[in-house]
Structure 1
Amino acid sequence: MPKTPSPCVDVCKFKREGHCLGCSMTKAQKSLFKELKKNKSREAFVEMLIQQQDRLGKYSHWTSKYNKKCAKKKVKPVAVEKDLA
């Protein structure tokens, strides 16, 4: 099974208080993701990042870009259940 790809969507502009405009990762988070070897760890990281994006706001563009990246690499994208209450 291919590894979960990096949440990076090739924008890499850290202009939101140290968070990337494209994916919301900080430089430290980007380095941490590269060190994750197990797929479950990578999936958990992406889930955490999605929650971070929700808190920060203005990351609605990320989902479609990341889904395309996953499709290209033939990997099922990480899905996070949203509270519909």
Structure 2
Amino acid sequence: MCEARSLIKRFRLLLIISILLFLVTGCVDEKVVAVAEKTRQVTVVTVENQTIRESLIYTGFVSASQIIPVSFSVDGKVDVFNVKD
């Protein structure tokens, strides 16, 4: 029982000290050091509107990498092909 009270007292003391240290270090006035800004010489370019072609034209051949024969499972004509408007 005595050890528990001693442990609680030490914990309270440690907690109070840590809170006080946190408050003291948080209230310190920090000196702000002014840093001289370095200036650099730059080149200024005026931007103009230009018409840019959005489509590209290429010449060449297109071929399939695989050819798969497709056929219907039922022979005959399609009588009606219903489509929703």
Shorter chain as denominator, the TM-score bin is: under 0.3
More helix by share: 1
Give the TM-score taking structure 1 as reference length. Answer: 0.24
Q: Which structure's relative contact order is higher, taking Cα pairs within 8 Å and 6+ residues apart?
A: 1
Give the TM-score taking structure 2 as reference length. Answer: 0.24
